[in-house]
Structure formats: structure tokens, C-alpha cells
Structure 1
Amino acid sequence: MPSLRSRRHGRKARSPGVHEAPSLASLGGWRALLANPGLVLNTWRHGGAVGRDGVGNQYFEERHATRPDGRARRWVMYAGGAREASLVPPEWHAWLHFTTDAPLSEAGRRDWQRPHQPNLTGTPWAYRPRGHDYLGGQRAGVSADYEPWTPDA
């Protein structure tokens, strides 16, 4: 139930588990503000820090829910300024997409589960098959290779 003060001033009462506003320093300081002012100012004004993953990405949730379904909006500020969604590990991906109410713990990982690896396409570490131009363009011939037709043959 909202407190008398929040009802009188038209504010919503804070629900339990709501996080406090982050400081400008925790959002990356002036450099981050100049690089992406909309994200930093929105996070500073409306967001509450929820946690950080092993890569350094920071996760936030609205302090007061504004979505039509009553849930608080969730978002991520990527580490190092990279804006690559594949950097989000599965534990936090589930939380961002409202699959879970809290981020999954990495302690519950199985022995057979590999650590999260982001998409490497477009980087020097991307997969390239044998015979790729970047690897010299030479490979052993196979029976299924194309042989052009010539009318003289």
C-alpha cells in the first residue's frame, strides 16, 4: 500500500527490491555521457543497477514500472562501449527477456556446459574453413569439385 506521503505528492511508492539510482561515475563518467548521452541520462534518471556480469556489462531495471503490462523495463550497458548483443551471457539474457525474475547464478552450471563465447563473425578469430581466401585460398581437390564444360572436349 502506498504511503500517505507518496499518495499526497502523486508519487508511486517504491516496491521492495527496487534499486537506487546509479552515480555518473558508475555509468562511465563524462566520457560515457558524451559518447552516448541518451542512454547514460536515461539510466541515471530512471534506472537502478541490478548487477554486472563477468565481461563487465552492467544491467539495469526501471525504478518505477512504466510498461503497459506493469513490468519494469530492463536494459544493459555494454562494457567498453561495444554494442554487441552476443556479449550478453545466457544467465543475463534470460533476465533481460523476462524469462526469469532474477539473473541465473553461474554457480549452478554443469560440468559439460561451456563458458559463454560471443559471436566472432567479422573478427580475426572468426571460423574460416580450409581454402578460405584469408588462409591462402588453397585446399585439396575433391571429387565433387566443379569442372567447367568446354565445347572442344
Structure 2
Amino acid sequence: MANAITKVITWFNGEQVGKDSFGNLYYQQRKSSKGRRRRWVIYNGKDEASAVPAEFHAWLHYTIDEFPSNPTQRRPWMSEHEPNHTGTELAYRPPGHVLQGGHREKATGDYQAWSPEG
């Protein structure tokens, strides 16, 4: 959610360029004062940088000049973008994790502890 200062700057200086599939809104300055126009995003929901898909990240950071016009066109090897799930219920928890019951399978016997004596 944008704070009050971002909303005021966007109201006076920004022009909306587009929107992504997550509902994030992308803006750029109406007029350029020093070469290129500033670009920014107003997140749909919590401010989380990992919620910006790669093609929009490239536009925000001037890696590409044109705003992604067809971001849904995906190559077969590309997976769908997902925000970082750390700290959420969707986060990966390996077997034996405390929140997964805290039990893991016993070692298979192929582990040998190191000792400094050699």
C-alpha cells in the first residue's frame, strides 16, 4: 500500500503506464528533468519487491525501454512468477522442520563424523 507521500508524488508527477497480473500499478514521471523519466510501482497490497515479475523489474530498472506489452507470452521453459514465500504458510519446510512435526528419518549409516585426530 502506498504511503501518503508516494500518493501525492504520483498524483502530481506520475502517469500510469500499465498494470501487471498481480494488480501492481506502474508509473513514470510525466516530464523528464534530467534525461530519463523516473519509474516506480505501487503495489497491490503489501509492499513486497519480489511481487514484481521479471519483465516489469527490467522496465523499472531501465534494462528495457518499452513497457512490457504482452507479459503473458511465456516460453515453455519459463515458470509462472511467484513472490517470495518466506515467513508464510507457503514457505518450504524440509522434513524435520519444527513446524512440520520436528521428526526426520534416521540417518542411513553413510555418515561418518569428523574427528580432529584423523
Measured against the shorter chain, the TM-score band is 0.7 to 0.9
**Residues 15, 30 of structure 2: 8 Å contact kept:** yes
**Residues 30, 37 of structure 2: 8 Å contact kept:** yes
The RMSD of aligned alpha carbons is 1.7
1:49 is matched by which residue type in structure 2? Q
Please give the alpha-carbon distance, in whole angstroms, between the structure 2 residues aligned to 1:145 and 1:61: 59
Residue 103 of structure 1 deviates from its aligned partner by 2.5
Please give the alpha-carbon distance, in whole angstroms, between the structure 2 residues aligned to 1:88 and 1:62: 19
Please give the alpha-carbon distance, in whole angstroms, between the structure 2 residues aligned to 1:145 and 1:139: 18
Please give the alpha-carbon distance, in whole angstroms, between the structure 2 residues aligned to 1:100 and 1:145: 52
Hey, what does 1:97 align to over in structure 2?
A: 61
User: Would you tell me which structure has more helix in proportion to its own residues?
Assistant: 1
Please give the alpha-carbon distance, in whole angstroms, between the structure 2 residues aligned to 1:107 and 1:122: 28
2:56 is matched by which residue type in structure 1? W
Pick from 76, 101, 125 the counterpart of residue 41 of structure 2: 76
- Give SS of 2:16's match: strand
Residue 65 of structure 1 deviates from its aligned partner by 1.4
Query: How many residues matched?
Result: 110
Matched residues, percent identical? 46
Q: Which has the higher contact order (CA 8 A, sep 6+)?
A: 2
Pick from 13, 21, 44 the counterpart of residue 46 of structure 1: 13
Task: Map Cα deviations across residues 100-123 of structure 1 (whole Å, 9 max, x no partner).
Answer: 111232243212211101100011
Hey, what does 2:102 align to over in structure 1?
A: 137
Please state if 1:108 is matched with 2:65.
no
Hey, what does 1:126 align to over in structure 2?
A: 91
**Residues 50, 60 of structure 1: 8 Å contact kept:** yes
Query: TM-score, normalising length from structure 1?
Result: 0.67
**Residues 56, 79 of structure 1: 8 Å contact kept:** yes
Query: Structure 2 stretches of 5 or more lacking a match?
Result: 114-118
Please give the alpha-carbon distance, in whole angstroms, between the structure 1 residues aligned to 2:13 and 2:37: 10
Q: 1:57 to 1:145 in 2, by over 3 A?
A: farther
Please state if 1:63 is matched with 2:30.
yes
Query: Structure 1 stretches of 5 or more lacking a match?
Result: 1-31, 147-153
Query: TM-score, normalising length from structure 2?
Result: 0.85
* Rg larger for: 1
